[in-house]
Every structure is written in structure tokens, then in C-alpha cells.
A = this chain, B = another copy of it.
């Protein structure tokens, strides 16, 4: 009897797995409270009507057409655990019915911000280069080893994009008391001011910063919005750190700016992933390289499951989800960050 009453959850979390995003204990909790139906994006529409009609939640981001969505008559929330919203369902119908579509991408904010600060400190103090030199027996001691070294404390720092990642970036920077300028065209200025930073134009961020962090997602409007002109306008010796998606920059132009010695850079993302073995960025001095690994920590994946679990609890109590981020009618169709296919 009790079996019948447990809410039903459709699970198709690829590229994640339930085991990746839930600890064993939490997965047991989940199975105790809900009936889990493990399926795939492809198989979901073929499930029995009775199953679809009882599904309260979906964990995953399956493509859904009007008909399938209609059959999901009890659906309250779709938990996208990849984290990038895709235009793969009739959002009008979803929103009209009051179904929440949410993502757990916020779990990546903390690990990405931490490595982002690590990139900045490595660039400003040449930590990686000095280690390589020391190993090669060509280290320079004391002040001789600090050509171009700069402090971060009190520096002028820019952040482009002030979502979860931008906020986490500002948090890990706190102890450095930077003068922080933030550009985010989707946010009212008051949100930036209340975070203790200054709202700024893209130009101001690019031209008046010692370090620039790019955390903006790709949208239908901002592909390649940072190009040769923007890099040329940066301060000499400034550090440019790319943390979101390569599509927001003109990557060859970024490489050229670094190659010229005008700026230094670090990136976690690339136009192609994996990157060709002979890609010239691999041998570019002044460009710190990381293979799209900034967010993919085990602990981040486990927080995904925790967010899903806690928000399901709120929804079960008749409250809206709170920890996951909701897709918005106004913006969902503009998102263009490509999902990952591996964890």
C-alpha cells in the first residue's frame, strides 16, 4: 500500500549517474521516499502511460515533446543535473502548467572559483613557471625570480557575468580587498552594489582591471563578444582568466594577445574539447592551461544530488524549489552553453 503512495521519479541523468550525484546513504534515502524509475532520454517517451502519469519529478534533461509532456500530467519539477539548459522541450507549455525546470549548476561555482583564484595567483607570481624552472635547474633566486610579479591585494579586478560563479569568485577574492568592477547586462545595478562591488560597462572592466575573470554563460547574444580589440585595450601585463565557455571569446585573438606579450591568460575551456594534439596554445608562453576540469570534482557532483534531495523535500511540502536555479520564461531560449558529454 505504502508503495503506491511514494511519489514517482523518472531518472535519466546522463552524463551523470545516480551513483555519481548521490552518496550511498542519500541514494538509500531517495529510494525509501520515492519510487525511482531509471530510464534514458530515448526510452522515456515509450514508458507506460501509468508511469508517466504518476511521475512527480524528472532527474535529467530529456527532450520532451508536447505529447509526452501532456502525458506527464502530475509533473512538478525537472531537475537538470547536467547544468546547461537546452531548448529541448516546449517551455511555454511547461511554464503555463507551473512545472519548474531547474538546474544544479551552482555546485560548480565553488570549485571553479577556487581554481580561478589559483590561476590568478599562478599568473601574477609565476608559480607554475618557477616550479618548472626550478626542476630544470634554471631557477632565479629572490627578487631576480619576480620579474613582472604583482600583488592581488588591493588590485583592480573585473568579473564578467555575476551569476553563481561570479558571486563565488567575489567571495574567494574577499580577503584580497580588491576594487571589484562587475559587468552583467542581465542584472540590475543594485544587485552588484549590494555585493560590495561596482557595476561597470564591459569596456571599463576590460580597460581598468589588473585581472579579469570571465564567468558569463554563452547566450544567443554574446558569442565571441571578447575579441582582438578588447584584448588590445587591456592594461599591459594584465591577466585574463576564462572560466565559463570558450565561445564567449575570439580564441585566436586571445592567443595572439598573449603571444604578443601584452597580457597573460589562463583558460579552462577551449573551442574544441578535447583539443587537437598540435594546437598552438599548448606551447604558448604566458598561457596557463587546464583541461575543462575546473568544476568536475566529486564533491561537486555529490552536492548536485543534495540540492535535488532538499528541493524535492520543499516541493513535497507544497513549497517552491529553492536551492536549484530555475529556468526563466524570458531567458531559457537564449542559452547556448554546450552541455558536456563526460563528467
Contact = CB atoms under 8 A, between A and B. Distances in A.
Interface of A: 95-98, 110-111, 114-115, 117-119, 121-122, 124-125, 127-128, 130-132, 134-135, 137, 139-146, 149-153, 171-177, 186-191, 196, 273-274, 277, 282-283, 288-293, 296-299, 301, 306-307, 310-311, 313-314, 318-320, 322-323, 328-331, 340, 342-343
Contacts of A151: 110-111, 114, 297, 299
Contacts of A119: 127
A98 B96 contact: yes
Given A122-B122, A188-B311, A152 B320 contact: no
A127 B128 contact: yes
Work out how many copies of this chain go into the complex. 4
Nearest to A96: B96
Given A119-B127, A175-B172, A291-B134, A191 B142 contact: no
A128 B122 contact: yes
A74 to B, nearest CB: 15
A150 B331 CA distance: 34
Nearest to A326: B320
Nearest to A330: B320
A330 to B, nearest CB: 5
Given A137-B277, A342-B141, A114 B152 contact: yes
A190 B310 contact: yes
Contact of A146 (B288, B289, B297): B297
